[in-house]
Amino acid sequence: MPPVPPPLPFYYVAASMEQRCDHFNALNADTFQQRYLVNDTFWGGPGAPILLYTGAEGDGIESVFAHSGYVLELARELKALAVFSEMRFFGVSMPYGEHDSFERRPERLGLLSIEQTLADNAHLVTELRTTYKTKASRVVALGGSLAGTLAFLLRAKYPALVHAALAASAPIFGYANLTDPYGWYRVATATFEKQVPGCPHAVRAAFAALLEASPTAVSKAYDTCRPADDSTGRRIAQLMTDKLSAMATAAYPKVFSPVLAACKAVMTQPGVGAFAPLLVPAGACFNVSTLHSVPEGLRMPPSAHARLARGAPGQHFSGASTADLAWFYLACTEIVHPIAANNRTDMFPPFEWDPHALARTCHQLFGVTPRLSWIPESMGMAAGPRALASVTSRVIFSNGLLDPWSAQSLTANASRSLVALNMADGSHHSDLGSWGNPWPGRGDSDDLVRVRREELALLRQWLAEDDHGPPAC
């Protein structure tokens, strides 16, 4: 386990502001309280920058703050006000409360969208400038993963409010016809091979043995609490696909990488039960009733499939968290990442990304049809990286190349002010902070230190530029 951060002399103050439930409908004047966290320890006062972490999926903004220590380091260096916004429909920022917000109606769950989220953040910027009497403060949007995508989009859509952005591990090209669906698992497999040579071969063999095994052999190998049936091996394989691939997103720092322990287990005990040490606690039987089939078409790692599947469609998803419901709704509408496996360029059992199956499942779950191309078409990514310079400027795209999401991110400069910074040994938003490295420390790799130094230098340079400064390309 990674070490616990030492007590910090600075933390945050929780606050909230009134947001419109629907920014784009004048006939709906309903409002809700959006929560955000503020740290003003290093702020230089009116005119000094504002760093805005643009929300994220998950259980609440506190968990994001807890592993994003580099944001506070940037605040120290830039004498900035650090603000972490909570995304609507996550945490306690519910437009109509925890239950009513998820009613399948246009004026309830239909208000969870990227456009509404960006407008929330834009309004928050204006309110912060008023509250802190700092109209001249330049804003840097930043975030990792979905929050990284939001940071890029916020800079692109509201350039008068947001001066620059740092988009870490942001899969902005993770859409149909813009990415190779097999890229995600290909990078995950390469990460396993890099950290434990030969491991992908053992994992591939373990999946093959499991999927070919009889129910009796599966029951014996996994010491199941009740007899396995014909679907048990397949469902274990689905579970292990999600577990193993998610490990690649947390592969930095290597000393804490879950890939190491997983490979040791699989390579020590080959055959049908190779995954048993990763699933079955010592001295216990394996409760196969906890296994659930992945909803058709909704295969995306890291996933909340098992938790979502506890509630059958049409039965209010009993057992699924609000965070799961909100994420799956986004995955059924605008955040539609094509991800597939082929067992040739990767080590996982093959499955295809099927937009038709996705549409059927999303209609069953939420009554919606995915808008596969809306975000890239409306926000300028559809024409590819070379066209981004006509969309925006002053954005850093950072990537850990061990991270499978790097397969759907910008990994090469698109212009002089759309800059890609890559960490060969980094994983999911390692620069901003993650589970294994929640704050900067002496053990940071040379690669990570270099990228953070370059990020700081670029932000200093851009904060000194006006909007008529050096051209984007």
The pLDDT confidence band at residue 310, using thresholds 50, 70 and 90, is very low
Residue 289's pLDDT is 81
Does residue 312 surpass a pLDDT of 50? Answer: no
| Nearest by Cα to 208 from 268, 145, 275, 260 | 275
Tell me the backbone φ, ψ of residue 273, rounded to 5 degrees. -95, 25
Question: Which pLDDT tens digit goes with each residue over 108-150?
Answer: 999 999 999 999 999 999 999 999 999 999 999 999 999 999 9
Residues 6+ apart with CB under 8 A from 466: none
Per DSSP, the three-state class of 17 is strand
Picking from 288, 259, 123, the residue whose alpha carbon sits closest to that of residue 194 is: 259
CA gap 311, 328 in Å, rounded: 13
Residue labelled with tokens 């910074």: 421
439 vs 168, which has greater pLDDT? 168
Q: What is the DSSP string of 397-456?
A: EEEETTSGGGGGS--S-SBTTEEEEEETT--TTTTT--SS-SS--TT--HHHHHHHHHHH
pLDDT tops 60 at residue 309 = no
Report the C-alpha gap between 184 and 294 in whole angstroms.
Answer: 18
| Active-site residue (options: 22, 120, 324, 403) | 403
Q: What is the pLDDT of residue 300?
A: 47
What pLDDT, on the 0 to 100 scale, is given for residue 211?
97
Decide if 12 contacts 65 (C-beta within 8 A): yes
Q: In the prediction, which pLDDT does 35 show?
A: 97
The burial class, CB within 10 Å (0-12 / 13-18 / 19+), for 176 is middle
Percent of the chain's residues with pLDDT above 90: 76
pLDDT one-digit tens code per residue, 314-330:
334 556 789 888 998 99
Give Cβ neighbours of residue 99 (< 8 Å, ≥ 6 apart). none
45-84 pLDDT, tens digit each: 999 999 999 988 888 898 888 889 999 999 999 999 999 9
428 is catalytic: yes
pLDDT of amino acid 361: 85
Of the candidates 68, 113, 137, 145, the residue annotated as catalytic is: 145
403 is catalytic: yes
In terms of phi and psi (left: phi > 0; alpha: psi -120 to 50; beta: otherwise), the region of 78 is alpha
- Condensed to tens digits (0 to 9), the pLDDT of residues 248-284 reads 999 999 999 999 999 999 999 899 999 999 998 888 8
Q: Give the model confidence (pLDDT) of 396-453 as tens digits.
A: 999 999 999 999 999 999 999 999 999 999 999 999 998 788 888 889 999 999 999 9
CA distance readout (Å), 171 to 190, 337, 435 = 18, 8, 19
How large is the C-alpha radius of gyration of the chain?
22
Whole-number pLDDT of residue 21: 98
Cis-peptide into 253, omega within 30 deg? yes
pLDDT at 435: 79
pTM of the model: 0.93
Percent of the chain residues past pLDDT 70, beyond the cut: 91
* Predicted local distance difference test score (pLDDT) of residue 303: 44
**190-214: per-residue pLDDT in tens?**
999 999 999 999 999 999 999 999 9
| Across 350-367, average pLDDT | 88
Strand (E) or helix (H) holding 168: strand 164-168
The answer to whether the CB of 10 falls within 8 A of the CB of 41 is yes
- Single out the catalytic residue among 93, 428, 429, 431: 428
CB 243 within 8 A of CB 266: no
Comparing C-alpha atoms, which of 391, 423, 440 is closest to residue 165?
391
The position carrying tokens 């506070």 is: 72
At residue 349's C-alpha, the angle toward residues 346 and 352, to 5°, is: 90
Q: How confident is the model at residue 471 (pLDDT cuts 50, 70, 90)?
A: very low
Residues 6+ apart with CB under 8 A from 408: 171, 172, 173, 174, 179, 183, 184, 337
